[in-house]
């Protein structure tokens, strides 16, 4: 193989890694517009078919349960009242076809009786992702409120 | 054409797409330091010459009106009092030389009479962008406050 | 040199620039999980060995002082009470082996006596970075609270 052909192969691997990194960031950013508009199918599609969203008070397993969460009175009430689920940029570690991203999120709600908004929660998030048939999906997202509970701090430490 | 030459052409297309994606993210992040320092020209340059910034209470068309908004008493008052216009990472969909990015923003102000800050607004944002002479610019940004109004939720749904 | 070989060399340069940009974003996002979990070594490794973290009330020079800051009663108290140091995506300007990233950060604390969180600070940040032996590190980070003080606004203007 010529020098040029060898360099091209090496370049192709580097480009694939860059594509993977951006695809993971895109997967995470796709959650935002979907969750705050109640677009339940788009929310579910962040996960694999049997993906798990494990929050402090419940575990949602698979698309049907995630869609039901989006349709719940609690979530629909947030949207009707005015809400933003805001994600900071995640810190991503890729290992072949799997990746872990760690970030914090805020849930911010409109104050019903005054100007302004309240930050209801700041949460630690761990996204475990896998590339399946060329597409990155979340297999498990674990979220724990940062209110001093050790498991939330441990979740961040594990991703640092 | 040899196999290597064909692979190089394909790689060049993939690299261009990655460059486009990062250029769009850079365009969005360039807004932050500019708006909170009142750097009016830098704010305007996020948009095309006749670009539009359509917010709930006003529509600013073209660089001159955007610059005037930055110089307004309202905006200068935010800066003097202490403010942060904070953008979450956008969810970007590219289609050739056009792109749509959807994200939320926060406007956070220093409390004048106490420690701490108040989140005055959480806003849904849609950025419609175009690549012109190799450079990405915003043609139209639409922002609607997330206080339960349907148009803000619809704007997020359209970008999900 | 053939056309293909020339194109490959050009592509290699473009890929290196993309890698640099993502490496800088990764360096910045690595700060988040580390600081909020008190992972002092991981925090320090964001900086060069003699890197400087210059905040409003103190200057931390080198890994040992940065680690001591993470171990301080003040920072540990934030973690025990529930906190999030949240960074927006940075606006990055690269010039060869150096780069400057400008962004805002929020320090959000759990309210000890009520539901919800308080945004204690919104801060302007300037990260001066250098690529050393192929790895990007922060040489100096300057942070100034956005409470109307001119130096915070000037820091954002310089990065716009």
Q: Which pLDDT score is estimated for A33? A: 98
Q: Which of B4, B38, B84 shows the shortest C-beta gap to C122?
A: B84
Tell me which chains share at least 3 CB pairs under 8 Å with chain A. B, C
Task: State chain A's maximal CA–CA distance in angstroms.
Answer: 72
The closest of C28, C110, C119 to B82, measured between CA atoms, is C119
> Is the pLDDT reported for residue A55 higher than 90?
yes
Check CB contact under 8 Å for B146 and A110: yes
Range in A2-6, A146-150, C119-123, C156-160 with the lowest mean pLDDT: A2-6
Q: Which pLDDT score is estimated for A160? A: 95
Residues of chain C neighbouring A26 (CB-CB closer than 8 A): none
Q: Which of B7, B104, B145 shows the shortest C-beta gap to A8?
A: B7
Residues of chain B neighbouring A81 (CB-CB closer than 8 A): 147-148
Q: Which pLDDT score is estimated for C1? A: 58
Q: Which pLDDT score is estimated for A149? A: 97
Mutation to test the C interface, candidates B33, B76, B90, most C Cβ within 10 Å: B33
- Residue A11 belongs to domain with CATH number: 3.10.450.50
Q: Which pLDDT score is estimated for C85? A: 98
Mutation to test the A interface, candidates C36, C42, C43, C106, most A Cβ within 10 Å: C36
Check CB contact under 8 Å for B122 and A86: yes
Q: Which of B14, B118, B146 shows the shortest C-beta gap to A36?
A: B146
Mutation to test the B interface, candidates A22, A32, A39, A110, most B Cβ within 10 Å: A32
Mean pLDDT to the nearest integer, C117-125: 98
Interface pTM, i.e. ipTM: 0.96
Q: What is the mean pLDDT of each successive set of 10 residues along chain B, which is 160 residues long?
A: 85 98 98 98 98 97 98 98 97 98 98 94 98 98 98 98
Q: Are B93 and B77 in contact (CB under 8 A)?
A: no
Tokens of B149: 């109004």
> Is the pLDDT reported for residue A84 higher than 70?
yes
CA distance A118 to chain B (A): 7
State if pTM tops 0.95.
Answer: yes
- Tell me how far apart the alpha carbons of residues B136 and B23 are, in angstroms, rounded to a whole number: 7
> Is the pLDDT reported for residue C146 higher than 70?
yes
Percent of chain A with pLDDT over 70: 99
Residues of chain A neighbouring C119 (CB-CB closer than 8 A): 119
Q: Which pLDDT score is estimated for A54? A: 98
pLDDT tens profile A5-31: 889 999 999 999 999 999 999 999 999
Tell me which chains share at least 3 CB pairs under 8 Å with chain B. A, C
Tokens of A70: 């989006």
Look at chain C and report how many structural domains it folds into: 1
Under 8 Å CB-to-CB from C115, ≥6 apart: which residues? A120
Residues of chain A neighbouring B12 (CB-CB closer than 8 A): none
Q: Which pLDDT score is estimated for B1? A: 58
Host domain of residue B40: 3-158
Residues of chain B neighbouring C149 (CB-CB closer than 8 A): 82
Residues of chain A neighbouring B120 (CB-CB closer than 8 A): 115-117
Tokens of C6: 């020339």
- Kindly indicate the confidence band of residue C101, based on its pLDDT and cuts at 50, 70 and 90: very high
**Sole residue written with tokens 């945004």:** C119
Residues of chain B neighbouring C83 (CB-CB closer than 8 A): none
- Kindly indicate the confidence band of residue A1, based on its pLDDT and cuts at 50, 70 and 90: low
- Tell me how far apart the alpha carbons of residues C22 and C17 are, in angstroms, rounded to a whole number: 9
Q: Which of A89, A104, A156 shows the shortest C-beta gap to C25?
A: A89
pLDDT tens profile C38-97: 999 999 999 999 999 999 999 999 999 999 999 999 999 999 999 999 999 999 999 999
Q: Which of A18, A120, A157 shows the shortest C-beta gap to C37?
A: A157
> Is the pLDDT reported for residue C113 higher than 90?
no
Query: To the nearest whole number, what is the mean pLDDT of chain A?
Result: 97
Q: Which of A5, A15, A36 shows the shortest C-beta gap to B14?
A: A15
CA distance A159 to chain C (A): 6
Check CB contact under 8 Å for A120 and C118: no
Residues of chain A neighbouring C30 (CB-CB closer than 8 A): 91, 160
Helical ranges in chain A per DSSP H: 3-37, 40-44, 62-71, 73-81, 150-158
Tokens of A51: 């993906």
3-state secondary structure chain B: CCHHHHHHHHHHHHHHHHHHHHHHHHHHHHHHHHHHHCCHHHHHCCEEEEEEEEECCEEEEHHHHHHHHHHCHHHHHHHHHCEEEEECCCEEEEECCEEEEEEEEEEEEECCCCCCEEEEEEEEEEEEEEEECCEEEEEEEEEEECCCCHHHHHHHHHCC
Q: Which pLDDT score is estimated for A93? A: 98
**Sole residue written with tokens 């993906």:** A51
Q: How far is CA A123 from the centre of its chain?
A: 12
């Amino acid at each position: 193989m010529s020098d040029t052909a060898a360099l091209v192969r090496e370049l192709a691997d580097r480009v694939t890694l860059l594509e993977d990194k951006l695809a993971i960031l895109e997967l995470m950013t796709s959650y935002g517009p979907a969750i705050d508009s109640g677009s339940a199918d788009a929310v579910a599609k962040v996960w694999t078919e049997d993906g798990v969203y494990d929050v402090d008070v419940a575990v949602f397993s698979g698309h049907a349960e995630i869609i039901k969460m989006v349709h719940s009175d609690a979530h629909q009430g947030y949207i009707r009242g005015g809400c933003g689920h805001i994600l900071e940029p995640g810190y991503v570690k890729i290992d072949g076809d799997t990746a872990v991203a760690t970030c914090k999120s805020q849930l911010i709600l409109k104050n019903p009786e005054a100007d302004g908004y309240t930050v209801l929660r700041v949460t630690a998030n761990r996204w475990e992702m896998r590339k399946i048939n060329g597409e990155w999906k979340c297999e498990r997202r674990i979220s724990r409120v940062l209110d001093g509970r050790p498991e939330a701090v441990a979740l961040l430490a594990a991703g640092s």
